[in-house]
Structure 1
Amino acid sequence: MWNRVPPPARDAGLVALAALDAWLSLWNDTPLGLALAAIACGALALRRRFPLAVFLLTLPATLVQDIVVAPVAALYALAERSRDRRLLGVCVFLSAVAMAVHAPLNDDPSASRAWTLIFLLYNLATATAPVLLGQLVQARRDLARRLVEIEEAREHERELHAQAVLARERAQLAREMHDVVSHQVSLIAVQAGAMQVAAKDAGSREAARTIRSLSVDTLDELRTMVTLLRASGGASTELTPQPTLADLRRLVASSGIEAELTGDLPATVGTPAQRALYRTVQEALTNVRKHAPGATATVELWHDGDAVGVTVTNSAPSRLSLPLPGAHQGLLGLKERADILHGTFESGPTDQGGYRVRMRIPSRAD
């Protein structure tokens, strides 16, 4: 329900609450004290864009006024957005010190060193609470984002697995057509040719010639069908319109990680090979985002005359990753794609703690 409130309205409500807290707790009514309190309250409207600066602006007011809402809100906003725990620890200590020593700085005779120490410990606990809450909200947001990525990755793995199953079935059908049907049609053509030569009357020779001609045409069509089946499917069997190398740049740019695309490939690369290379990059970048948070990646397209390929290398993760479930079908599907196109597929960790995926496909693969 709170998320349905527009951000400007939330900002105005928080500033008003901080101003009410400052007014009720006001005991330094000098122009300087009033100005510092007004700056601390007004700065809360900018806490989303400049959380550290807003927190620093609340410190002077905390030194001279007994305010709570402004520093606590500033600490929460900083903790919700920052991943630097040492910075958060320093800010907690500064806030606690500012709230504990403001009385001695204003020459309050009732304050003493013992009470200052007690106030410091109490305010340390007070300042730690919004930081822990902000970190919890940040972790919850990261977990929700990671769950969405997991579901997308699992859906992608299911799609690749379904395509791999279809590819295996097409390959088996191609073998049957080549080994059985093509062989039998070839025998028919040979027998028809022999009959055409041996026939005595013109009608028999014409019938044999027709049978032989139809058999040869059927063999040509069978070869075309076998080639299409071995090409891992066409537009009529794919689940969605399939991407090509022209879509790689958009894929890398929208991957959600810091990735760089280098190299190029000849314009003569076949459509099945383009799809295989695209899926390799897609799967590799998905795995980087899923298993190596904070890592950077390099996508390198290359060709050596006899083959074309792509190599995707990522650096070591900069943050710990959550243990994520997976069906482990993505890389298996890529290896099956490479096998269908008579290519090779390799994957494994690097010496620098990252991971490398490499697919190589013959230039004439179609």
Structure 2
Amino acid sequence: MEGADRYRVVRWVRWWWLRRHTVVDLAIAVVAWPPSLGLAVTAFGGGLPVTLLLSVPLVTGLSVAAYFRRSHPVVFFAVAMLAAVTTANVPAVMFALYTYPAWRPDRATLAVLTAVAGIAAVSVDAWYVANTPAALVIRLVMFVLSPVLLGLWIGTRRQLVDNLRERAERLEREQHLQAERAIVSERTRIAREMHDVVAHRVSLMVLHAGGLEVSAPDGRTAETAALIRTTGREALTELRHILGVLRADADGPPLAPQPTIADVARLVEASRQAGVDVAYEVRGEPGAAADAVERTAYRVVQEGLTNAAKHAPGAAVRVTVAYRAGAVAVTVANGPPGPRTAPPLPSGGHGLVGLRERAALIGGALSAGPEPGGAGWRLTAELPLNLPEHDSEG
């Protein structure tokens, strides 16, 4: 089948599916009109003009009511009862008794309609036929209870299918929401790791290039170092824009091995090689800490060293990891900056925000502010060593 033919078939199927009830009801109204007119003509008898004058409006009204039977089932039942009483059109009443429970959940109204149809059937049977009680019961079952039970079954099945469809759609929406939350969490994790790792490394590279530019033995080396420093600064600026796009207000689980407190010494040594005067001290007896605490402590030192290099170039920096009973305090303090030989490095402003979120999630606290007297800056994190299982990032 060609693409155009397939498209036409799909359009036709969609058109039919959206209008199937209207088409079916219109077909019922048109097909039922001739036999209903035949029953009316037979019932009224008499002259043809008078018979048609009585039959055509009644039958036409019955067909119109049948077309609107889903939206106005009570009206359809009333017109069908009138046709049954005047023209013995019992099938119309049976169809009306089927329609109401198939499309309406109101069981009280259904009971009233069933009772009215039953009383009418009993009255007509007693007046015209005078059948035995057994025959009367059979007629009630066939012409009243059977269409009602069929309508109840169809209506219950339709409600069940609708409920299942609604539940499936709700589950699908929930799956989409969970997938979106997972994407946001992963983007946030990537943004934080990029800030913690890539931005820190690029900052050190820029510092190395700045130092080489100042102490270069020849002009070509200085020019190359300046180019590296400028390129690194541009990369940091672009990285800040990327982090602004990726960052969200949620946190996701890390998907790769993360550094710990044991890696702080290596971090300090890398800063020393970049020309930063860093003193590192460990106080107290190191104790076993939760993975989340290890990672957060490392990130605090990393952020503190990066901020010192950015905002206080040439300042002496002190890194202290102090173990106490059930807790560890991580402090990064720097003195006043020295003379600035290069423009300040770009900053995204999310580092401390992310660290506060990390510390709060594991039950710790983060403080940052100037040293007493304003001579320098101090970043301190107070973190518990042991965490409840549900609070751990690992």
> What TM-score, normalized to structure 1?
0.51
Partner of 1:226: 243
Match of 2:175 among 150, 158, 162: 158
Partner of 2:232: 215
Mapping of residues 95-110 of structure 1, within 5 Å: 95-102=117-124
Partner of 2:160: 143
AA in 2 matched with 1:16: P
Q: CA deviation at 1:188?
A: 1.4
Partner of 1:10: 28
Partner of 1:78: 100
Partner of 2:143: 126
Partner of 1:170: 187
Residues 1:138 and 1:30: Cα distance change in structure 2 (over 3 Å): farther
Partner of 1:351: none
Residues 1:59 and 1:120: Cα distance change in structure 2 (over 3 Å): farther
Residues 1:71 and 1:131: Cα distance change in structure 2 (over 3 Å): same
**Superposed structure 1 runs of 4+ greater than 6 Å apart:** 30-39
Partner of 1:91: 113
Q: Distance in 2 between matches of 1:200 and 1:137?
A: 93
Residues 1:206 and 1:101: Cα distance change in structure 2 (over 3 Å): same
Match of 1:47 among 66, 75, 86: 66
Q: CA deviation at 1:118?
A: 6.8
Q: CA deviation at 1:9?
A: 3.1
Residues 1:63 and 1:10: Cα distance change in structure 2 (over 3 Å): closer
Aligned residues: 226
Q: CA deviation at 1:48?
A: 4.0
Structure 2 stretches of 5 or more lacking a match?
Answer: 1-15, 250-353, 358-394
Q: Distance in 2 between matches of 1:66 and 1:94?
A: 16
Residues 1:194 and 1:60: Cα distance change in structure 2 (over 3 Å): closer
Q: Distance in 1 between matches of 2:86 and 2:133?
A: 15
Residues 1:66 and 1:211: Cα distance change in structure 2 (over 3 Å): closer
AA in 2 matched with 1:123: L
> What TM-score, normalized to structure 2?
0.47
Is residue 98–residue 150 contact of structure 2 (8 Å, CA) maintained in 1? yes
Task: After superposition, give the CA deviation of every residue in 1:2-27 in whole Å (9 maximum; x if it has no partner).
Answer: x6975433222223344556678x5x
Q: CA deviation at 1:93?
A: 0.8
AA in 2 matched with 1:76: Y
AA in 1 matched with 2:245: L
Is residue 62–residue 99 contact of structure 1 (8 Å, CA) maintained in 2? no
Q: Distance in 2 between matches of 1:192 and 1:116?
A: 109
Question: Secondary structure of 1:160's partner?
Answer: helix
Partner of 1:57: 79
Structure 1 stretches of 5 or more lacking a match?
Answer: 233-338, 343-366
Q: Distance in 1 between matches of 2:139 and 2:158?
A: 30
Mapping of residues 189-204 of structure 1, within 5 Å: 189-204=206-221
Q: Distance in 1 between matches of 2:220 and 2:233?
A: 20
Task: After superposition, give the CA deviation of every residue in 1:211-248 in whole Å (9 maximum; x if it has no partner).
Answer: 2212211111111112212149xxxxxxxxxxxxxxxx
Q: CA deviation at 1:95?
A: 0.8
Q: Distance in 1 between matches of 2:82 and 2:61?
A: 12
Rg larger in structure: 2
**What is the aligned-residue RMSD (CA, Å)?**
3.9
Q: CA deviation at 1:201?
A: 3.1
Q: Distance in 1 between matches of 2:146 and 2:31?
A: 21
Question: Secondary structure of 1:83's partner?
Answer: coil
Is residue 189–residue 211 contact of structure 1 (8 Å, CA) maintained in 2? yes
Task: After superposition, give the CA deviation of every residue in 1:335-360 in whole Å (9 maximum; x if it has no partner).
Answer: xxxx9xx9xxxxxxxxxxxxxxxxxx
Residues 1:16 and 1:71: Cα distance change in structure 2 (over 3 Å): same
AA in 2 matched with 1:205: A
Q: Distance in 1 between matches of 2:37 and 2:133?
A: 26
Q: Distance in 2 between matches of 1:204 and 1:188?
A: 15
